[in-house]
Amino acid sequence: MNEKQSIIKVENLKRTFVVGSEEVHALKGVSFDICQGEFVSIMGSSGSGKSTLLNILGCLDQPTSGEYFIDGISVRERSKNELSDIRNRKIGFVFQSYNLLPRTSALENVELPLVYNLDVSHRERHERAQHALELVGLKDRMGHMPNQLSGGQQQRVAIARALVNDPVIVLADEATGNLDTRTSYEIMSLFQSLHEQGKTIAFVTHESDISVFTSRTIFLRDGHILRDESVATKSAAEALAALPVDNDY
Amino acid sequence: MDILNLIRISAKALLRNKTRSALSMLGIVIGIAAVIAVVNLGEGLKQSTANQLSDMGTNLIMVMRANQRRGGVSMGSSNVQSLKVRDCELIAKGAKNVTMVSPVVNSGGQLVNGSKNWSGTVYGGSPDYLEIRKYEIATGVNFTEEDVKKYAKVGLIGQTIVEELFDEGEDPIGKTIRVGNMPFKVIGTLKERGENGMGMDQDDLVVMPYSTVQKRMLGVDYIQQIVCSAASEDVAEAAVEEIESILRVSHKIPEGGDDDFEVRTQQEMLEMMSSMTGMITTVLVAIALISLLVGCIGIMNIMYVTVTERTKEIGLRMSIGAKNSAILLQFLTESIILSLIGGVIGLLLGLLLSYVVSLAMSLPYVVNVGWMIISFVSCAILGLISGFFPALKASRTDPINALRYE
Ligand SMILES: Nc1ncnc2c1ncn2[C@@H]1O[C@H](COP(=O)(O)OP(=O)(O)OP(=O)(O)O)[C@@H](O)[C@H]1O
Ligand SMILES: [Mg+2]
C-alpha cells in the first residue's frame, strides 16, 4: 500500500439496466481510487450515471461487471446479508431528501444505524449519537422531531446519522439539492470541517458552485469518466461570509 | 437481531402511529372480547342449570309413564295408568342402590281459607317425598306412614300459599283450609325456595299423603310418577337399571317389548338441558370467531397499507444496514404486538362484559381459563399469519427504489 490507504477502488465498473427489451448502459467502464481522507465530488449532467455509481459504491446495487473494493474488501459476489453488514459498518449515507424517520427525535434518528449493530451496547449507542449530533452543531436539538427542524437542520441530523457508525466513507447524493444557497454553503462548510478531521467523503452534485468546495472532482458523462482532477479547495465558510445579506425580506 | 432490540424497534414504530395502531387492534379486541364473553356466559348458564337441577332433588331419579304403542295407536302419556303404588314398594324392596322412594300424584285445585282463595297444585307423596325433592320444613311436622294409611286430610304448604291464604303474622299450623271441597289441616310449612330456572314458583304447592290425593281428591288407583333417591351420584346408573328390571317384571313387559315407563336421572336431565344451552353457546362462539377472523383481516389490511406507506422508511433502514430478515421480523413483530395487545384488551373487556351480564342475569360468574389461553395463543398465531405477507412484502423492498419513493 502507498502512504495513503485506498478506501475505494473501482476497476472497469459497468452497470447495465434491462428495461423491457432494451438495455440501458448507465455505467460503461469506470475506474478510479478514493484514498483515505479525500473529499471527492462526482459531477455530471442529469442521467450521466452519478446516482448509479453512488448506489454501487454504497453497496445498495451490484455492478454488472468490474471490480469494486471497499476498505480492501471485494464487494463482488457478496450475499445480501454481507452487503448489509458492509453498509452498516463501513458506509454512511446522506440523501437529498434527508430521509429521517418522522415523529422520531433527532437523537433516535441518529442512533438508528447502531440499532442494527449488535456489538454496540445501548449506552454506547446513546453516547455515540450524542457525540455525532454535537459534531454537526445540533447539541441543543437532540430531542426535537424532524418536523420541528429546518431543512438544513434535518440534513445535519442526517449527516450525524451517517457519521455515527464511524464509516470509512461518507456518501452523499445531492445532499444540498433541497436547500437554498446559504444553507447549502453551511452544509458544505460542515463537510469541509469533517474532511479536515480526516473523514473520507464522496459527494454527488450537478452544481459546479458546490463542487468547488471539494478537493477533487470526477466528471461523468454518459457513463464514462470525462475528467478526474484535483482542484484548489475554496473555503465554504468564506463563501458564506461573502454572501450578500439579502434575506431580510 | 436480538429479540429485545426487535421488540423495541417495532414498539417505537407502532407508537409513532398511535391512532392507526389502535384502529387496527379494534377488530381483534372486539373478536376476543366476544369469544371470551360468550364462552364465560355459556359456562355460567350451564352451571346455573346444573345448580337448579341439583336443587330438584338428592341424586334424583324420576320414573315417568311412557307413551306405549299398542297396535300402532299411540296413547297420550297422561292416559297411561301403568304406574302403581305397588311399583314403589317393589323398588323400595328390590333396588339396593335406591335409598328413598315416593309415588307422586298431583292435582290442581282451588285453595280456600275463609274469604281468601288461591289456585294451587297439590302433590301427593310418601313421607320421604320432601327429602327426595329437597324441601325443608319451616314450621310444624311432616305427615307419617300412619297418615298415608288413613288417607289423613293433612298437608304442608309452601310460602306462597302461606302468604296468599293467611294474614301476616298468622300461624297457619293447625288451621283447616279447603282444597276444592275437601277440608284439610295444615300441619307444616315449607322453607322458601324461590323460582327455578324456568321461572316457576317453587313455593306454590301443597304436599299431602299420596293416598289422600288418590282416594279423596282424584278417585284413582294409579300414580303419575315415582321419584327416587339414589344412594350416591356414582350408583345412579346402577339404580336406574335396577328400577328398570324391577318394573319390566312387574309390568310383564316381554323381552324386546316397549317399556310403558321411562326412567331419567338428574344427570340425564342435566345433559338434556345443557345440550340446549351448549348448542346456543356453540353458535355464538362461531359468530364470535368469525368476528375475530375479520379482526385479523383488518390487521393484515392495515399492515399492507403500512408497508406501502413506510416504503421510504424501509429503504432507509436497509441503506443503513438492516438485513432483509430484520425488516421481515420487524413488521412481523409489529403485527404480533398489535394482536397481542388487542388480545389482552379484548380479554379484559370480555371478562368485564361477561361479569356485568352475569350480574344482570343473576347467573353464576364462571371464567373459562381454557378459552382464555386458547384465544391468547390464537391471537399470537393470527398476528403472525396476518403480519406475514405484509412483512414479506416489506422485506422484498428494493432499497434504491424505496429511497426514491414519494
Ligand atoms: N433502475 C433503473 N432502471 C433502468 N434504468 C435506470 C435505472 N436507474 C437508472 N437508470 C438509467 O441510468 C442512467 C443514469 O441514471 P442516474 O440516476 O445514475 O443519473 P444521475 O446522474 O444520477 O442523474 P440526476 O442528476 O438526474 O440524478 C439514466 O439514463 C437512467 O435512465
Ligand atoms: Mg441522481
The answer to the question of residue A248 being in a domain is: no
- How many angstroms away from the CA of B300 is the closest CA of chain A? 23
Quick one: how far is CA A134 from the chain centroid? 19
Tell me the CATH number at A103: 3.40.50.300
Query: Whole-angstrom Cα distance, residue B328 to residue A139?
Result: 34
Backbone angles phi, psi at B39, to 5 degrees: -65, -45
Of the given ranges (A74-78, A124-128, A145-149), which has the lowest mean pLDDT?
A74-78
- Residue B73's pLDDT is 54
Chain A residue numbers with beta carbons less than 8 Å from the beta carbon of B324 are: 80-81, 84
List, for residues A215-247, the tens digit of each pLDDT value.
999 999 999 999 999 988 888 888 888 888 765
Domain that holds residue A129: 6-242
The segments of chain B whose pLDDT lies below 70 read 1, 67-80, 197-199, 406
Is A101 a domain residue? yes
CB within 8 Å: A116 and B317: yes
pLDDT cut 70: percent of chain A above it:
97
Distance B377 CA to ligand 1 centre (A): 49
C-alpha Rg value of chain B to the nearest Å: 33
Predicted confidence at residue B74, as pLDDT, reads: 53
Residue A194: inside a domain, yes or no?
yes
Q: Is residue A198 part of a domain?
A: yes
What pLDDT score does B197 carry?
Answer: 61
* Grid cell for residue B110: 282451588
Q: Which residues surround ligand 2, an ion (CB under 5 A)?
A: A 51
Asked whether A191 and A78 are in contact (CB, 8 A), the reply is: no
Residue nearest to atom 10 of ligand 1 (CA): A26
Beta-ladder partners of A229? A217
Identify the residue whose C-alpha is closest to ligand 1 atom 14.
A49
| CA A206 to ligand 1: nearest atom | 25
Hey, what amino acid is at B133?
R
Q: Which numbered ligand comes closest to the C-alpha of A30?
A: 1
pTM: 0.74
Helix B3-15 to helix B324-360 angle (10° resolution) is 70
User: Does residue A227 belong to any structural domain of this protein?
Assistant: yes
Nearest to B320 among A80, A88, A108 (CB): A88
- pLDDT on residue A77: 83
Query: Are B318 and A85 a contacting pair at CB < 8 A?
Result: no
User: How many residues would you count in chain A?
Assistant: 249
The residue-averaged pLDDT of A145-159 equals: 95
Give tens-digit pLDDT for A12-49. 999 999 999 999 999 999 999 999 999 999 999 999 99
Choice from A24, A30, A225 to test ligand 1 binding pocket (greatest atom count within 8 A of CB):
A24
Alpha carbon nearest to ligand 1 atom 17, residue = A51
| Facing residue for B2 by CB, picked from A61, A103, A118 | A118
Burial (CB count within 10 angstroms: exposed 0-12, middle 13-18, buried 19+), residue B80: middle
Q: Answer whether residue A185 is part of any domain.
A: yes
E strand intervals along B13-166: 60-65, 69-70, 73-74, 98-113, 116-125, 137-140, 154-157
Beta-carbon separation of B320 and A101 below 8 A: no
Gap between the Cα atoms of B165 and B161, Å rounded: 6
Across the interface, do B321 and A84 touch by the CB < 8 Å criterion?
yes
- pLDDT per residue as tens digits for the range B116-144: 999 989 999 999 999 998 899 999 999 99
ipTM above 0.85 for this complex? yes
The reported pLDDT for the residue numbered B68 is 58
DSSP labels, B356-392 = HHHHHTT------HHHHHHHHHHHHHHHHHHHHHHHH
pLDDT of residue A2: 47
- Residue A1 placed within a domain: no
Q: Please state, in angstroms and rounded to a whole number, the distance separating the CA atoms of residues A174 and A182.
A: 15
Read off φ and ψ for residue B161, nearest 5 degrees: -70, -35
All residues of chain B having their beta carbon less than 8 Å from the beta carbon of residue A84 are 318, 321-324
Q: Is residue A219 part of a domain?
A: yes
SS3 letters across B222-249: ECCEEEEEECCCCCHHHHHHHHHHHHHH
Q: Which residues of chain A are within 8 Å of residue B322 when distances are taken between CB atoms? A: 84, 88, 116
Q: Which helix (H) or strand (E) holds B277?
A: helix B266-309
Domain count, chain A: 1
Q: What is the pLDDT of residues A53-100, one digit of tens each?
A: 999 999 999 999 999 999 999 998 899 999 999 999 999 999 999 999
Question: How much is the average pLDDT of A136-157?
Answer: 95
The one-letter code for the residue type at A189 is S
Mean pLDDT (chain A) is 92
Q: What is the pLDDT of residue A141?
A: 94
